[in-house]
Amino acid sequence: MTRGRRGAWHALFAMRYVWRSLLFCTLMGGALLTPPSAVAAPLWLGSDIPYRVWSDPKGRLSLREAVPEIARHGTLAREVLSRGYTREVVWLRFTLAADAFDGAPLWLEIKPNFLDDIRVYYRPLSEDGSWRQRRVGDTFAAPRGDLDYRFPILKMPPPPSALGYEVVMRVATTSSLLLRIGFWQPEDFTAHATRSSAYYAFYFGLAGLSTLLALVLAILLRNRLLWSVAFMAIPYAMMASIEGFVAWSLPGAGILFQHYLISVLALLMSASLLWMPVEAIALRERVPWLYRLFVGACCLSLPLMLSIPLGFYSQAIRLQTTLHFGIGLLFLIYCLRVWIKERFRTLSFALSVGPFVVTALTLYGLLVLAGWVPFKIVFYRAWQYSLVINMLLVMGVAVYQVRQQYREAREKKLLARDLRIEREASFNQRQFMGMVAHEFRTPLAVIAGCLENLRHATDLAQARQRYARIERANDRLVQLTDNCLVDARLDAENLHLDLRPADLLEIVHSAVALIHFSDNHACQLDLDRSARVEAQADGLYDEPPWIDAALMRIALSNVIDNAVKYSAGGIIRVECRRVGTSFTLAVEDHGEGIPADRVDIIFERYRRVDSAIDTRRGFGLGLHVSRQIARAHGGELVLARNTASGCRFVFTIPWNATKGGRA
């Protein structure tokens, strides 16, 4: 496994716990930190204080000219002012009763933070004198109200008479015209501001951490769904700008920067909000044409940014809102269709209900900003919570999907490897059948020829020589047959070892008989006499080793036969020693060694090393069978030394095979 893949898996396992913790913190934070609007009870313009509203299409009227027009043509409103993306100047007129002040100043809070120019005029109702004017706005080069706060705060002193104030407001903006105004008692506002700041600090901290984790995982795992989660930073940045945190943290030029940042993020926000639901339900694979339409609408956001400096922002945002609203509506319809088609199957419903809710609330927000539906604070709060919760859920789904992909990829890799091995085994088995025919034919031909010569032989020495050749050929046939039968026996699921007391030295003498049949090789035995059956003085080995003598003879014979085949001549050394609670059998030759690139395959079935010394074709079973026999006894066969001047193979077998072998 590569370092990058290990890092990805570590990130996956870490993320499994992190996103659960984040989700738990979100739910607990929602329980502990109630929305700040529910803490105190200000007077809201619209729901608590009705007002008259009138639009000035050209925006050229002065206060003196606008007041009679509002009285004659203004309409009474009891909701939050929402006119959408318009260049018209809007005038509002209302009265503020003296009992609302309760003998103390009222603090006027103006939201949201993307309004260009807001002018507040007020005068006592009992007077017809001059108006007092206050001015705030993102493009107004002056301090933002009377307090250093995220929103403009204007202090209104108590009215001099019991009748209250007459208030007129002029609102102009290049963004969506949405105005939410609250009148606070100072002590109520202080409690509200403290709780609101704590709430949003927790919210944006959680959002920032989860977005950073999504970005890191997206880079590591290269997953489109995780990239869509990482791009949720756009709506969070938009929300932070609307709530005034950008300008608040950047004194001076921060207000103007925040103003244009909101315009840029507004063009990108709907695309980023729709991207996550689109990826969450795999829209690219399910409905390709709708996915291409969505990608086209997202790409349109980039050239539309030129509308900000060129002055046609309202037209550009209307075009994008219309496109994304249509795509979002198609997405919702598609989700409903999938739910009905799959009969609200638990898994598909659970994976798509979160994106469905986020998309529905996003479409509602688009309609509010366009001025087509009234603003409701409860939907705004629900949208805030749904973003974080759904992002964590989608991140969890993405991590799960990536983990499944890695698991499937690993299984495919293992399957491909098994298939390759199986194909090689199939090929080698076909080769094996040809080898069997050749290997068996050669000893049989020797036997047949010797028998024919014996019919005409008159010399006893010649007859004995031919008998020896028959015996050698017969031993070769027996060895080949044993290897084939033992290989099949070792492959059986329930291998039975015929464990009995055995004399190791007898097994060694029987196996080295193969060397005596060669005219070019000699045998050197190095036998540890303590390996015999006799009891030892210390009483540790008071009985012979329990092994399957027949199988052990075959295993040792195969290694010795290889030593004869792959060495031109010389001494073949065979050792038998006792080491602790085990015994070792070693075979050492003086051949040419094994090529380094072939060492790993010498113990595999049907694999053999070609040699210029021995031209006989082998089965490729000898070493494989020998190692399997050793392991069946709970031991091992290894290539202990491999040099250009020879090899050394060593068996290590427990003295009592029942303690480690298969049975």
As a whole number of angstroms, the distance between CA 575 and CA 365 comes to 87
Beta bridge pairs of residue 583? 578, 653
If one counts the domains in the chain, the total is 3
72 and 208 part of one domain = no
Q: Return the CATH number at 379.
A: 1.20.1070
Residues near 311 by Cβ (< 8 Å), separated by ≥ 6? none
- Which of the listed residues 366, 385, 410 is the one where a domain comes to its end? 410
Cα Dmax for the chain = 155
169 and 200 part of one domain = no
Query: Quick one: pLDDT at residue 122?
Result: 93
- Which of the listed residues 378, 410, 442 is the one where a domain comes to its end? 410
Query: Quick one: pLDDT at residue 647?
Result: 93
Query: Quick one: pLDDT at residue 327?
Result: 82
- The letter for the amino acid at 440 is F
171 close to 131: Cβ distance less than 8 angstroms: no
Q: Tell me the whole-structure pTM to 2 decimals.
A: 0.57
**Mean pLDDT for each consecutive 10-residue tract of the chain (663 residues)?**
45 45 45 47 90 91 92 92 88 92 90 90 84 88 81 91 90 89 92 88 84 82 78 86 85 78 84 77 80 83 85 82 82 79 64 73 82 85 81 72 79 87 72 59 66 67 70 68 62 67 86 79 81 46 77 88 86 89 91 86 73 51 86 91 91 75 42
Query: Quick one: pLDDT at residue 77?
Result: 93
Query: Quick one: pLDDT at residue 94?
Result: 95
As a whole number of angstroms, the distance between CA 53 and CA 50 comes to 10
Nearest to 602 by CA among 585, 627, 618, 623: 623
Please give the residue range of the domain that contains residue 82.
43-184
Q: Return the CATH number at 557.
A: 3.30.565.10
Domain membership of residue 520 (yes or no) is yes
As a whole number of angstroms, the distance between CA 428 and CA 127 comes to 110
150 and 221 part of one domain = no
Query: Quick one: pLDDT at residue 588?
Result: 93
Query: Quick one: pLDDT at residue 288?
Result: 85
172 and 126 part of one domain = yes
